[in-house]
Amino acid sequence: MQIYLPIAEVSVNGGLLLGIGLLVGVLSGMFGVGGGFLMTPMLFMIGIPPAVAVATGANQIVASSISGVLAHVKRKTVDFRMGGVLLAGGLVGAALGVVIFNVLKSMGQVDLLIQLSYVVFLGIIGSLMFVESLNAIRKARSGRAVPKRRKHNWVHALPGKMRFRTSGLYISVVPPVLVGFLVGILSAIMGVGGGFVMVPAMIYLLGMPTKVVIGTSLFQIIFVATFTTLLHATTNFTVDMPLAVLLLFGGVVGAQFGARIGVNLKAEQLRVFLAGLVILVCAKLAVDLLVEPSEIYSVAVAIVRP
């Protein structure tokens, strides 16, 4: 069934949009990510303009994250205090990201920025996660004990310490605020929840337990994605509601299945699967940037208004 999207100004298959939302929801529940790193490029592929895909994608992330958080709250694997600290930096970063987005959009460079940002961030983070996860799995299979992450590093020497009981940490609030700030910028520019940056940072930089990281990441993503959506809707008018509703429905259902699947997988397996997905998406976007399109130029009717 073809559905016309008024803001995107294209017609797409409704079942396809539901399928994309469902897939992203499953990933959200499994890995603690908003899923925008996969959904936004998929929207590009079916003809949705990048500006609309980014703004509407942030809206869908809200629903899938709420659904995923509810599942993790029942298991008591959400550190609300850590989530609040991350959120403080995330809201400021989101506001700055929307300003940058608007400036580049007025210059006609926002599409290139979005694609380059995906290639750079996904390539670096996906590769690091994939190598680390494979090493951990290899050591576990060989019978050698997998070395635990250091409990004390340079993060613990910073001022402004706070106790996070759910995570079992007593660290400075500076690193979480900076992580949230970076994620907020990425959310506004790339239309992602930022989980692909936040999850590795919370595990390897802050030293949080993996079981707590997923739920806490989703908790922070809810509010940053909501704030980003509101800013895009009021400044760019690029949120397409019919598109958002279809993606929302699929995302809510998928997140519940994803949370159940994630409980049955080991932490190393979760990380290697997520890393593989990140690398695949990065490769696809890189190919699209490097390969010459079949039609270099396009012709459209110009509408001149007096």
pLDDT digits (tens, 9 = 90+) for 170-200: 888 888 899 899 888 888 887 766 676 787 7
- pLDDT score of 2: 82
- In this predicted structure, which of 29-43, 205-219, 268-282 has the lowest mean pLDDT? 29-43
Q: pTM to 2 decimals?
A: 0.69
> What is the Cα–Cα distance from 8 to 11, expressed in whole angstroms?
9
Burial degree of 73 (CB within 10 A; 0-12, 13-18, 19+): middle
262 pLDDT more than 70:
no
**Cβ–Cβ < 8 Å for 29, 43:** no
- pLDDT score of 11: 85
> What is the Cα–Cα distance from 184 to 147, expressed in whole angstroms?
32
Both structure tokens of 267: 């932490």
User: Residue 294 in 3-state DSSP?
Assistant: coil
Average pLDDT, the chain: 77
> What is the Cα–Cα distance from 255 to 86, expressed in whole angstroms?
22
pLDDT digits (tens, 9 = 90+) for 31-89: 656 566 777 777 877 888 877 887 777 666 776 677 778 878 888 888 999 989 999 99
Burial degree of 134 (CB within 10 A; 0-12, 13-18, 19+): middle
> What is the Cα–Cα distance from 167 to 227, expressed in whole angstroms?
26
**Cβ–Cβ < 8 Å for 40, 238:** no
Domain spans, the chain: 2-286
